[in-house]
């Protein structure tokens, strides 16, 4: 196995009495697009700044490329950071901004010129070299900030919510460009975001953080399909929860009594984070179906529609199940011939045991 580019072991960070990071253990692989995802205030920026060398940890160790970063200042680390408020120099041209770090390193003029041109090209700002930075749009400024970081050829690029200041359309465009750029340069990217959709669409792997701790590290598909706790399941995408009580286990199966659904036998592997402490069942809205006409399903339950949200391609139904106070959500693709139900309608909700997760 190749060694990870970044290895964090037992990292703690205190600000006075307040613990911002708690026992962070994490390996990030070379060439990975890795994201730190979690709600505001959970410690993402603190962790990123610790990797960059802008924060000193209170305990634990950080290795980059096998080297201990103990006592290594930020400017001597093989990392570079793109900040949330991409602080570029407004009075300088695009080319001057991009050249800034290279000039500080006193590289030969011809090399600077070539590398600046390459970096400007990479971020799609050809022809903007002489443009004053204050005369750029938000998206273009973000590209300048990226070029300025990439031109230094860091081993790791650290990005702290780099797209949060952009509007939705531009943000989505920059997301795919950033992904393309990362593949092209092959540099390890560590992205901080509180936007789960952004993390899912861009990352090879994601660390989900709450309250200074890492809750789960996995690929987008595993995080969404097999979240290890209820907290992760609720943070990533939509998830319905039903109360569950473990009765007995036998072999590879577990007997559970589930709210509204009754007594069931589930494979143990559907307890994605282990059986200990499991007290709810999670099921994604798209794993449920509103059955029409003679349509059947492995299992079905009678429900009543309490809310209808029509999105054109999809309809989200809130439905009330017997023996459960809060409604659950069922999402349906609006295919040809499928009629949209109205509030108050009776609905047969189809489900299968294989789409239920046992969570703690
Ligand atoms: N310099 C600091 N002094 C004291 N507390 C801080 C400092 N920086 C961050 N914090 C606290 O640490 C926690 C994590 O902050 P941060 O890493 O910025 O979270 P995130 O980036 O996930 O929103 C927050 O509660 C924040 O208030
Ligand atoms: Mg932050």
Model pLDDT for residues 18-51, shown as the tens digit of each residue: 999 999 999 999 999 999 999 999 999 999 999 9
CA of 219 to the centre of ligand 1 (A): 26
Question: Quick one: which of 91, 187, 181 has its CA closest to 143?
Answer: 181
In the chain, % of residues over pLDDT 70? 99
Rounded Cα distance between 213 and 225, Å, is 21
Token pair 């070379």 is found at: 30
The model's pTM? 0.93
Domain layout of the chain by residue ranges = 6-225, 238-281, 282-352
Go through 332-358 and write b for each residue having 16 or more CB atoms within 10 A of its CB, e for each that does not. beeeeeeeebeeeeebbbbbeeebbbb
pLDDT of residue 251: 94
Rounded Cα distance between 184 and 230, Å, is 36
pLDDT of residue 86: 66
Per-residue pLDDT tens over the stretch 64-96: 999 999 999 999 999 999 886 667 888 899 999
Per-residue pLDDT tens over the stretch 172-191: 988 998 999 999 999 999 99
Distance of CA 66 to the CA centre of its chain: 26
| Total number of residues shown for the chain | 360
Question: Quick one: which of 124, 96, 110 has its CA closest to 184?
Answer: 124
Q: For the structural domain made of 282-352, what CATH number should be given?
A: 2.40.50.140
CA of 20 to the centre of ligand 1 (A): 6
Rounded Cα distance between 281 and 46, Å, is 34
CA of 21 to the centre of ligand 2 (A): 13
Pocket of ligand 1 (CB under 6 A): 15, 18, 20, 38, 40-46
Mutation to probe ligand 1, out of 46, 50, 51 (largest number of atoms < 8 A from CB)? 46
Mean residue pLDDT across the chain: 95
Pick from 9-13, 50-54, 129-133, 213-217: least confident = 129-133
Instruction: Determine the 3-state secondary structure of 245 from DSSP.
Output: strand
Q: Which atom of ligand 1 is nearest to the CA of 39?
A: 22
* CATH 3.40.50.1980, applies to 6-225: no
């Amino acid at each position: 196995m190749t060694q990870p580019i970044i290895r964090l072991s037992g990292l703690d960070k205190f600000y006075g009495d307040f613990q911002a990071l708690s026992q962070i253990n994490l390996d990030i692989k070379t060439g990975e697009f890795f994201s730190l995802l979690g709600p505001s205030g959970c410690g993402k920026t603190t962790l990123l700044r610790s990797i960059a060398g802008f924060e000193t940890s209170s305990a634990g160790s950080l290795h980059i490329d096998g080297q201990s970063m103990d006592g290594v200042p930020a400017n001597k680390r093989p990392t570079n950071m793109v900040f949330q408020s991409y602080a570029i120099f407004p009075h300088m041209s695009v080319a001057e901004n991009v050249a800034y770090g290279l000039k500080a390193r006193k590289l030969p003029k011809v090399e600077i010129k070539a590398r600046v041109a390459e970096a400007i090209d990479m971020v799609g700002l050809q022809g903007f070299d002489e443009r004053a930075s204050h005369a750029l749009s938000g998206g273009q400024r973000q590209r300048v900030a990226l070029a300025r970081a990439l031109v230094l050829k860091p081993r790791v690029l650290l990005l702290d919510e780099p797209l949060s200041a952009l509007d939705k359309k531009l943000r989505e465009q920059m997301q795919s460009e950033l992904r393309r750029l990362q593949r092209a340069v092959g540099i390890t990217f560590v992205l901080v975001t509180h936007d789960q959709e952004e993390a899912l669409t861009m990352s090879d792997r994601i660390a989900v953080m709450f309250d200074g701790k890492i809750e789960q590290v996995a690929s987008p598909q595993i995080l969404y399909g097999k979240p290890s706790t209820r907290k992760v399941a609720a943070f990533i995408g939509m998830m319905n929860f039903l109360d569950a009580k473990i009765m007995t286990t036998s072999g590879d199966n577990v007997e559970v009594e589930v709210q509204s659904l009754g007594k069931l036998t589930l494979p143990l592997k559907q307890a994605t984070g282990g059986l200990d402490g499991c007290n709810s069942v999670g099921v994604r809205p798209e794993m449920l179906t509103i059955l029409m006409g003679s349509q059947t399903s492995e299992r079905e339950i009678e429900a009543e529609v309490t809310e209808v949200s029509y999105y054109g391609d999809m309809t989200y139904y809130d439905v009330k199940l017997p023996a459960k106070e809060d409604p659950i959500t069922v999402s349906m693709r609006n295919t040809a011939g499928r009629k949209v139900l109205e509030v108050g309608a009776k609905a047969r909700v189809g489900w299968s045991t294989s789409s239920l997760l046992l969570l703690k």
